Amino acid sequence: LKTLRLLLGDQLNHQHSWFKEEQENLHYVFMEMRQETDYVKHHIQKVIGFFSAMREFAEYLKEREHEVIYLKINDKKNKQTLPENLKQVISEYRIEKFEYQLPDEYRLDVQLKDFCSELTIETEAYDTEHFLTSREDLTNFYKGKKEMTMEYFYRDMRKKYDVLMVNSKDPEGGKWNFDKSNRKKWNGKPEIPHERGFRKDVSALLQEVGKAGIKTFGSLDAEKFNWPTSREDSLSVLNYFSKNLLVHFGDFQDALHTKQAYLFHSRLSFALNSKMLHPKEVIDSVIGYWRENKDEIDISQVEGFVRQILGWREYMRGIYWKEMPGYGKSNKLDNQNKLPEFYWTANTKMNCLKHSIQQSLDNAYAHHIQRLMITGNYALLTQTHPNEVDAWYLGIYIDAIEWVEITNTRGMSQFADGGIVATKPYVSSGSYINKMSNYCKGCEYDVKKKTGENSCPFNSLYWNFLDDKREFFKDNRRMAMMLNMLDKKSEDELFRIKERANAIIQNPENF
Ligand code: FAD
Ligand code: SF4
């Protein structure tokens, strides 16, 4: 049968079994579409990153004698939506069977199912052969359990894949989790090796995107695009990480710094989420490097890294498929405020937010603690509607694909799911930020002050949040200590805290 196989922008898995088969009568189709560039406003580097990686993968397939149909964004024939384009290709090439890989986004899953149900030709869906769990594995794992603590899922994954295990039974190093040793502040030492950059010229593609009239935001140096867009690039980011950054990955995982956007983070998320790299190959490669260099690298650095990929990444995917589509609408804390305008400009006097947002606008990247404890923390403390928060996170980061963005944003960061992912909200006053960063030193606000003119906004916002949401958290054991402390505040102090917090919430642009 003459068969058409669809490849979505985040299905660039070079090692998929599709490409190992006899290739007669097979056509692969890639499409750059307004449906994908416009469902949310994306960072320009995200659009360029995905289009470049798709084009390079298409070339890779052509070089290996595969038949490839590629619809570029400005092609006259491009109808800009998935069903319209597919209908056209199927008719033009007289296709007799349509095949696709299961999408990771609910939106596309529904769209493709609907499309297939209307087709008169045969259709078949395949696994992407990327994840280490199926869509349903997590649901089955937690069946009958009250809480879905990630740690137990992670331990099970370690056993299942025999990762960092002794005799497939006990955790290597005697512990499952070395998180406690991963909490250091970075003060300029140890030195961070020079950035691994690609410096690609993407000017021509940038022009095409401009000509198409796609609305984007953020900045891009078109002669020095730094993200991996091929498998070769992706492998070099992976090797660079093991050789240069792994040694301190765990130590400084939670650190924040004005001058260092990346610290010891791997920047592998785009290569992973577009599937240019497989999670197991990343884990094996990093562990392999560690085994050869055990004298220099402590197990805590490696375990911390493995937990992110084997644990958190798979866990978030499982939560997504367990909870969608309802998850996309959840707002258990009933937060209703608008996201401040400065999230799009970095124009704020709060130094921590200014730096985290500016780095995001410049690089389409922020590391986990910037996302969670700076921008996410502030959005939650100011009781911002999760739809607004989601739209921002989904647009700004090069790695943002809904299955992993929404679970991290609505779930882990905004507690909008009421506690499925996190057992308590990730909120903090300025003191945590001061402990982990150098932001407060250069800030107009005084991190030690709770109220009054130049007091750190995070301080009053924090206690105001607890007071506003007291009823919601009253039975949460993990919140008991903080609510106790809140109760000890005098009426007068609480009044001044709430006055300051409300002034910030009502006029965020003034701060
Ligand atoms: P590293 O710190 O080097 O970690 C290695 C890898 O572990 C990452 O590449 C990633 O694949 C995985 N990982 C780490 N933490 C998580 C996590 N919490 N969930 C899933 N995978 C994880 N990650 C995305 O890939 N896409 C998103 O859209 C996204 N949105 C986020 C939104 C918020 C509010 C928060 C708090 C986190 C979000 N994350 C997201 C998770 C995490 O912040 C990023 O994966 C990470 O910062 C990517 O940088 P890195 O590759 O240098 O990661
Ligand atoms: Fe952020 Fe407050 Fe520190 Fe300023 S003082 S950097 S607002 S935490």
pLDDT beyond 90 at 194:
no
Q: Which CATH class is domain 137-323?
A: mainly alpha
What CA–CA distance (Å, rounded) separates 437 from 283? 29
The strand pairing partners of 67, in sequence order, are: 27
pLDDT beyond 80 at 181:
no
Confidence of residue 368 (pLDDT cuts 50, 70, 90): very high
pTM: 0.97
Determine if ligand 1 sits within 6 Å of the CB of residue 393: yes
Q: Mean per-residue pLDDT for 228-238? A: 97
Cβ neighbourhood burial of 177 (10 Å; 0-12, 13-18, 19+): middle
Peptide bond into 279 cis (omega under 30): no
| Interval 389-403: pLDDT, tens | 999 999 999 999 999
Determine if ligand 1 sits within 6 Å of the CB of residue 216: no
Confidence of residue 332 (pLDDT cuts 50, 70, 90): very high
| Interval 260-319: pLDDT, tens | 999 999 999 999 999 999 999 999 999 999 999 999 999 999 999 999 999 999 999 999
How confident is the model at residue 43, as a pLDDT? 98
Which DSSP category does 184 fall into? P
How confident is the model at residue 482, as a pLDDT? 96
Determine if ligand 1 sits within 6 Å of the CB of residue 327: no
Strand, coil or helix: what is 391?
helix
How confident is the model at residue 8, as a pLDDT? 98
Residues 6+ apart with CB under 8 A from 474: 483
Task: Count the Cβ atoms, other than its own, within 10 Å of residue 123.
Answer: 16
How confident is the model at residue 154, as a pLDDT? 97
Residue-range domain boundaries for the chain? 3-126, 137-323, 341-510
How confident is the model at residue 196, as a pLDDT? 75
Strand, coil or helix: what is 24?
coil
314 Cα to the center of ligand 1, angstroms: 11
Q: Mean per-residue pLDDT for 205-215? A: 98
Determine if ligand 1 sits within 6 Å of the CB of residue 308: yes
Mutate to test the pocket of ligand 1, among 285, 305, 404, 420 (most ligand atoms within 8 A of CB): 404
Determine phi and psi for 393, rounding to 5 degrees. Answer: -65, -35
Determine if ligand 1 sits within 6 Å of the CB of residue 412: yes
- Ligand 2 atom at minimal distance to the Cα of residue 446: 5
368 Cα to the center of ligand 1, angstroms: 6
What ligand has the least distance to the C-alpha of 286?
Answer: 1
Which amino acid is residue 483, in one-letter code?
L
Ligand 2 atom 6: residue of nearest CA: 440
Determine if ligand 1 sits within 6 Å of the CB of residue 372: yes
Dump the DSSP string for 136-165. THHHHHTTT-S---HHHHHHHHHHHTT-SE
Task: Count the Cβ atoms, other than its own, within 10 Å of residue 24.
Answer: 8
Burial 233-254 (b: 16+ CB within 10 A, else e): bbbebbebbbeebbbbbbbbbb
| Interval 60-103: pLDDT, tens | 999 999 999 999 999 999 999 999 999 999 999 999 999 999 99
How confident is the model at residue 195, as a pLDDT? 77
- Average pLDDT along the chain: 97
What CA–CA distance (Å, rounded) separates 13 from 274? 8
1.10.579.10, 2.40.10.10, 1.20.1090.10, 2.130.10.10: which CATH number matches 341-510? 1.10.579.10
pLDDT beyond 90 at 217:
yes
Burial 317-341 (b: 16+ CB within 10 A, else e): bbbbbbbbeebbebbebebeeebbe
Q: Mean per-residue pLDDT for 163-188? A: 91
What CA–CA distance (Å, rounded) separates 211 from 56? 21
Q: Mean per-residue pLDDT for 106-135? A: 98
Mutate to test the pocket of ligand 1, among 237, 245, 368, 388 (most ligand atoms within 8 A of CB): 368
| Interval 7-66: pLDDT, tens | 999 999 999 999 998 778 999 999 999 999 999 999 999 999 999 999 999 999 999 999
How confident is the model at residue 208, as a pLDDT? 98
Q: Does CATH place domain 3-126 in 3.40.50.720?
A: no
| Interval 442-470: pLDDT, tens | 999 999 999 999 999 999 999 999 999 99
Confidence of residue 180 (pLDDT cuts 50, 70, 90): confident
Ligand 2 atom 1: residue of nearest CA: 352
- Give residue ranges with CB within 6 A of ligand 2: 350-352, 430, 433-434, 439-440, 443, 445, 447, 456-458
313 Cα to the center of ligand 1, angstroms: 8
Q: Mean per-residue pLDDT for 221-229? A: 97
Tell me if ipTM is over 0.85.
Answer: yes
Confidence of residue 348 (pLDDT cuts 50, 70, 90): very high
